[in-house]
């Protein structure tokens, strides 16, 4: 596993990832994540790992296609930026696993494998439930958020609204559940956009990363500004 | 209660550390994460049922969420992360007996010493500017957490001051206010895109936000499918 030379800039609000690839070195990224690159880098789109694995990634909310960036005979730089304004993190896998929330994956180095994992029917149908990507292997993985990312060291038990989970270590146990006494915001709009005020209860020891904003409430907020249909 | 504001200024969250039996009341949906020793209660008004149905209904018509979340620590040292919907900052205002009028979507949370009333109609006339706003009246002694769309800035009003209604976060009620047209003529005001403004006078603190949520909504809305 060769070391990856990378740097984050503009954190936490408008984070950008710059990777300096050595000749022949590769990085794999979510389609449309590439913002700019030097011409010495070759980009190839494809179904990395065959269609079965690609399907797993799709279930995890990521695209079927994974783009591969390879440096040619000379070193080169490639920059990645995610869709939403927000933060970025890297995590170095050492033969362990990391779970990523739907849409949080940005890029990974060789040696990392991604597969879809589904947090159960309840989570799935609620719309904001846990549809997770599981990253295994050894190497660097990059993920992004909407808003800033806060790292929480869970030592006993911790509760996170499912919509705000970015990633967590697999040493943690998790359970998606309704929180007694907590009524979800804006019931009617939640019905339209999914989400039932579910929380994820973590237990054990490990890290969980949460984002400080969530796009669904923003969508609910924009909803009343939509034009009304003319009845004719 | 310990209050820290993290990830300032664009993606701010409030991290609260509650001692046993301390309570915080917040907007529904504001909870991001918490430790397990917190009891959650959802009511239509004050914790413990006060305020009741009628107030809750009024609040709903005023446009606010019908319900409020109350978090009470059942064990010492419980932490709670709260965040608003929009990108922007959070600020804490300490009330020591006065009254603070908060623009509805800027009210994030307040502690048990604060009485909140969302039925305050003093700025009801703002509706005429096409911006469906509601206002929350906070009184008592304690902390109020305010959120803003964009940056938040404070103005110590000593004379007259004019703010577009969409940019108001909160103001002390020692200020008098008047809804006025921005320009010399009403038509000119609307053509200028300013609509109606709030003209403050007197002495007091005024919190403003750098961005105007209704303008942002009006920009996004037409690009979306009709409902």
Residues of B in contact with A225 (CB under 8 A): 217-218, 220-221, 224
Is residue A90's pLDDT more than 90? yes
Confidence of residue B146 (pLDDT cuts 50, 70, 90): very high
A166, A182, A216: best to mutate for the B interface, most B CBs within 10 A: A182
- The residues near B16 (Cβ < 8 Å, ≥ 6 apart) are B1, B2, B3, B4, B24, B79, B80, B81, B82, B109
Contact check, Cβ <8 Å, A213/B83: yes
Report the chain B residue with the minimal C-alpha distance to residue A226.
B221
Residues of A in contact with B67 (CB under 8 A): 183
Structure tokens at B107: 């009210």
Smallest CA–CA separation between B42 and chain A, in Å?
A: 6
Which segment, A137-151, A207-221, B44-58, is predicted with the most confidence on average? A137-151
Residue A207's H or E segment, with its range, is strand A206-211
Query: In this predicted model, what pLDDT tens digit does every residue of A111-144 receive, in sequence order?
Result: 998 887 665 544 444 444 577 888 999 999 999 9
Query: In this predicted model, what pLDDT tens digit does every residue of A149-193 receive, in sequence order?
Result: 999 999 999 999 988 999 999 999 998 887 777 765 544 334 333
Choose the closest CB to A13 out of B11, B29, B225. B11
Confidence of residue B221 (pLDDT cuts 50, 70, 90): confident
Confidence of residue B214 (pLDDT cuts 50, 70, 90): confident
What is the mean predicted confidence (pLDDT) over A11-26? Answer: 95
pLDDT at B207: 97
- Classify the complex by whether its ipTM is higher than 0.95, answering yes or no: no
pLDDT, greater one: A63 or A73:
A73
> CA-based Rg of chain A, rounded to a whole angstrom?
19
Contact check, Cβ <8 Å, A150/B27: no
Is residue A106's pLDDT more than 70? yes
What is the mean predicted confidence (pLDDT) over B25-40? Answer: 92
pLDDT, greater one: B103 or A93:
A93
Is residue B7's pLDDT more than 50? yes
Choose the closest CB to B33 out of A87, A158, A228. A158
pLDDT at B175: 94
Q: Tell whether B83 is within 8 A of chain A (Cβ).
A: yes
Query: In this predicted model, what pLDDT tens digit does every residue of A40-51 receive, in sequence order?
Result: 999 988 766 666
Q: Which residues of A46-83 are buried (b: 16+ CB within 10 A; e: fewer)?
A: eebeeeebbebbebbbbeeebbebbbeeebbbbbbbbe
């Amino acid at each position: 596993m060769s070391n990856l030379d990378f740097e984050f800039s503009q954190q936490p609000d408008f984070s950008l990832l710059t990777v300096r690839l050595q000749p022949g070195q590769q990085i794999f990224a979510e389609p449309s994540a590439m913002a700019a690159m030097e011409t010495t880098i070759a980009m190839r789109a494809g179904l990395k790992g065959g269609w079965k694995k690609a399907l797993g990634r799709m279930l995890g909310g990521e695209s079927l296609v994974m783009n591969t960036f390879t440096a040619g005979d000379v070193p080169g730089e490639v920059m990645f930026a995610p869709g939403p304004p927000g933060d970025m993190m890297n995590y170095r896998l050492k033969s362990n696993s990391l779970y990523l929330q739907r849409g949080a994956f940005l890029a990974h180095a060789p040696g990392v494998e991604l597969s879809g994992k589904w947090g159960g029917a309840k989570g799935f149908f609620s719309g904001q439930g846990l549809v997770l990507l599981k990253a295994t292997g050894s190497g660097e993985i990059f993920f992004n958020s909407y808003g800033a990312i806060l790292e929480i060291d869970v030592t006993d038990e911790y509760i996170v609204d499912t919509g705000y989970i970015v990633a967590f270590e697999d040493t943690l146990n998790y359970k998606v559940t309704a929180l007694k006494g907590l009524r979800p915001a804006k019931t009617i709009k939640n019905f339209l956009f999914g989400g039932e005020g579910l929380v994820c209860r973590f237990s054990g020891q490990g890290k969980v990363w949460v984002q400080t904003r969530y796009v669904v409430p923003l969508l609910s907020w924009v909803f009343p500004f939509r034009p009304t249909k003319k009845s004719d | 209660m310990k209050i820290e504001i993290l990830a300032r200024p664009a993606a701010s969250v409030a991290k609260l550390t509650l001692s046993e039996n301390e309570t915080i009341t917040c907007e529904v949906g504001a909870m991001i994460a918490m430790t397990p020793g917190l009891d959650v209660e959802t009511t239509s008004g004050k914790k413990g049922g006060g305020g009741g149905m009628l107030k809750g209904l009024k609040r709903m018509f005023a446009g606010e969420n019908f319900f409020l979340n109350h978090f009470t620590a059942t064990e010492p040292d419980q932490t709670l992360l709260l965040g608003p919907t929009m990108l922007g900052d959070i600020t804490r205002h300490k009330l020591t007996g006065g009254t603070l009028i908060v623009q509805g979507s800027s009210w994030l949370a307040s502690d048990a010493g604060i009485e909140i009333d969302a039925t305050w109609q003093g700025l009801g006339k703002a509706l005429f500017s096409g911006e469906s706003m509601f206002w929350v009246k906070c009184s008592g002694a304690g902390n109020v957490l305010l959120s803003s769309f964009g940056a938040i800035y404070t103005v110590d009003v000593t004379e007259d001051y004019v703010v577009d209604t969409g940019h108001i976060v909160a103001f002390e009620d020692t200020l008098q206010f008047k809804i006025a047209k921005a320009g010399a003529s009403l038509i000119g005001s609307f053509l200028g895109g300013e609509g109606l403004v709030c003209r403050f006078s007197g002495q007091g603190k005024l919190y403003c936000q750098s961005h105007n949520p209704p303008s942002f909504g009006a920009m996004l809305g037409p690009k979306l499918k009709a409902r």
